[in-house]
């Protein structure tokens, strides 16, 4: 087997976004595209010689071909060992756990997360560091620099590795260890939660529907929820990972998980509904007749955490991304613990978790997680909910009502304008920036602006600063609108408008109705319709 050096040249646009590099699949399949980026990762991390790496993906189209390339390039780079999930499968949280458990140097996760997959869908690559978490901005910046200076890459000439057989093989001098993708993760979950209590909940007739959306969590959910905890067979639906996710959009929200929502709002709803995304790090929680927003879910988990064995000693602190609602802040205040506000992107939680400043984290974009790994974790959130319901023996609706009675309710919604022209999106953001200084004190509809700024984050652990992280406009009384451009889209720009309204008394209004004044103020301030050319958002969650 020879190592060959292939001449190449920089390819435009290989700049990692919110979570790694995401592009259309045909772009990744283009000549040298994947190889250039992998070599740039090796350069940015100082090479992989003598290192152990973890590699896996969400099973989408092009996953196994890409893994073969990563393996041959790891071998060419002198890596000692690569641990890879059987058939190339590893959910993002399972990969994070394996990196930590096996003390690997890092890992390559192949996924475009909740973006659709297939020959015309999206593909993605991200590097997670030795703490199991997504590469921090300083490292992704180095990767981007390396993509702009690349002249060659090195790859081993070899046959494909058999990814279907568990055990060890060699690729040149490198060991390739094919592991069961579920076993270690399931063991970790069992160490965190009261499996006995959850099993007895199911034994008492509690019913569940988990929609794996034809994505990576199917095997994990079946093994844990059905095999270990005793949920009825068939509770996990769409449980076989498919390369194109059954032509679906594996994003667990009320729009893309429509079937589950319809079931949960209908007469035959089970007690609990949940869904996860392409790579298993997002979650959606639904009770019979009630959808729980990710922001509320974070707050409810934090408020009830001590019923879970792993968190029985209390939480060190909570972190949430800036656009996430302040519901968790209210819980932190009551518990007398710190609440950190970070930019969008799980990578910003890593330092806080590593430094032991926070125990649980969450994002409005359906992400919740804790210090058990360094990624958000869809199934972990589902088990957390089940553990609370098993301990308290109440319904999701009762739990949320109790929560809102105690803390008040942060009504919340996100309006997305997808695939809009980049110029229009930039003009909207520039227009907002230009008026920030004049906004405080002005009255828009019935709301008075109390504060307006562009969010910048100073990491309290390493002192790094991240600027341009979204424009936020606060109103008197706890209402807020945030404008931000997505960093995970692959086509044009996606404008996200995050809307929030605090009501200490009324708990059961429809969110869009409660938020109507904030929605109107957002339009009046930003001119969304004029800049996007759209009458309404494409997705409301
Ligand atoms: C990624 C990040 C999340 C982030 C989300 C939304 O999620 O890991 O931390 O909240 O993108 O990003 P944006 O608003 O920029 O599209 P995932 O599940 O896609 O990896």
Of 69, 93, 316, 26, the residue nearest 171 (C-alpha) = 69
Q: Which residues are catalytically annotated? A: 113
In the predicted structure, residue 179 carries a pLDDT above the cut 90: yes
Helices and strands in the chain: count of H runs, count of E runs: 18, 27
What's the mean pLDDT in 2-20?
94
- Residues 467-509: tens digit of each pLDDT: 999 999 999 988 999 999 998 877 889 999 999 999 988 888 8
Q: Is the pLDDT of residue 18 over 90?
A: no
Tell me how far the alpha carbon of residue 28 lies from the centroid of ligand 1, in angstroms.
20
Closest-lying ligand 1 atom to the alpha carbon of residue 277: 18
CA of 216 to the centre of ligand 1 (A): 17
- Alpha-carbon distance of 514 to 510, in angstroms, equals 6
Q: How far is the centre of ligand 1, averaged over its atoms, from the C-alpha of 18 (Å)?
A: 6
pLDDT at 19: 84
Q: Which residues line ligand 1 (CB under 6 A)?
A: 18-19, 113-114, 277, 281-282, 321, 344-346, 363, 365, 367, 486-488, 496
Q: Which domains does the chain have, with CATH numbers?
A: 3-180 (3.40.120.10), 185-407 (3.40.120.10), 409-540 (3.30.310.50)
Q: What is the mean pLDDT of residues 159-169?
A: 97
For residue range 100-116, list pLDDT tens digits in order: 999 999 999 999 999 99
Phi, psi for residue 338 in degrees, rounded to 5? -75, 150
Average pLDDT, the chain: 96
What is the band of 1 on the pLDDT scale with cuts at 50, 70, 90? confident
Strands (DSSP E) found in 455-509:
457-458, 465-466, 471-475, 479-485, 493-503
Nearest to 112, CA basis, from 156, 74, 58: 58
Please give the Cα distance from 79 to 173 (Å, whole number).
9
pLDDT value at position 505?
Answer: 83
What was the pLDDT predicted at 75?
98
């Amino acid at each position: 087997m020879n190592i060959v050096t292939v001449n190449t040249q920089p390819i435009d646009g290989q700049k990692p976004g919110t979570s790694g590099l995401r592009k259309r699949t045909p772009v990744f399949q283009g000549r040298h595209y994947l190889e250039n980026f992998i070599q740039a990762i090796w350069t940015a991390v100082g090479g992989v010689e003598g290192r152990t790496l973890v590699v896996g993906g969400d099973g989408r189209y092009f996953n196994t071909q890409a893994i073969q390339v990563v393996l041959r390039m790891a071998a060419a780079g002198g890596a000692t060992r690569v641990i890879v999930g059987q058939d190339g499968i590893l959910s993002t949280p399972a990969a994070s756990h394996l990196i930590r458990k096996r003390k690997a140097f890092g890992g390559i996760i192949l996924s475009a997360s909740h973006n659709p997959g297939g020959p015309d869908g999206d593909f993605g690559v991200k590097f997670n560091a030795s703490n199991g978490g997504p590469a921090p901005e300083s490292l992704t910046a180095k990767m981007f620099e390396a993509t702009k200076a690349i002249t060659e890459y090195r790859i081993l000439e070899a046959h494909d590795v058999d990814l279907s057989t568990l055990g060890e093989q060699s690729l040149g001098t490198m060991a390739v260890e094919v592991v069961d993708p579920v076993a270690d993760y399931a063991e970790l979950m069992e160490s965190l939660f009261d499996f006995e209590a959850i099993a007895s909940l199911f034994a008492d007739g509690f019913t569940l529907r988990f929609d794996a959306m034809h994505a990576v969590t199917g095997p994990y959910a079946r093994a844990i929820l059905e095999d270990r905890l005793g949920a009825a067979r068939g509770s996990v639906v769409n449980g076989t990972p498919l390369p194109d996710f059954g032509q679906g959009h594996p994003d667990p929200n009320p729009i893309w998980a429509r079937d589950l929502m319809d079931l949960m709002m209908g007469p035959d709803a089970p007690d609990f509904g949940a869904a996860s995304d392409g790579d298993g790090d997002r979650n959606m929680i639904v009770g019979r007749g009630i959808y729980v927003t990710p922001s509320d879910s974070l707050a409810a988990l934090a408020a009830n955490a001590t019923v879970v064995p792993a968190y029985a000693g209390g939480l060190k602190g909570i972190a949430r991304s800036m656009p996430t609602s302040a519901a968790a802040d209210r819980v932190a205040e009551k518990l007398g613990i710190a609440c950190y506000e970070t930019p969008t992107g799980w990578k910003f939680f890593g330092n806080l978790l590593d430094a032991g400043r926070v125990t649980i984290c969450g994002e409005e974009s359906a992400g919740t997680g804790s210090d058990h790994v360094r990624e958000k974790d869809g199934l972990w959130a589902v088990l957390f909910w089940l553990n609370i319901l098993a301990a308290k023996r109440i319904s999701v609706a009762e739990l949320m009502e109790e929560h809102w009675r105690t803390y008040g309710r942060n009504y919340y919604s996100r309006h997305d304008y997808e695939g809009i022209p980049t110029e229009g999106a930039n003009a909207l953001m520039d227009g907002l920036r230009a008026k920030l200084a004049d906004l405080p004190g002005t009255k828009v509809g019935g709301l008075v602006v109390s504060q307006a700024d562009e969010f910048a984050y100073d990491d309290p652990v390493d002192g790094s600063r991240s600027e341009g992280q979204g424009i936020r406009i606060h109103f008197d009384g706890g209402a807020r609108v945030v404008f931000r451009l997505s960093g995970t889209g692959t086509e044009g720009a996606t404008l996200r408008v995050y809307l929030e309204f605090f009501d200490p008394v009324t708990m059961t209004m429809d969110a869009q109705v409660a938020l109507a004044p904030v929605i109107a103020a957002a339009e009046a301030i930003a001119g969304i319709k004029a800049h996007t050319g759209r009458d309404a958002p494409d997705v409301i969650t």
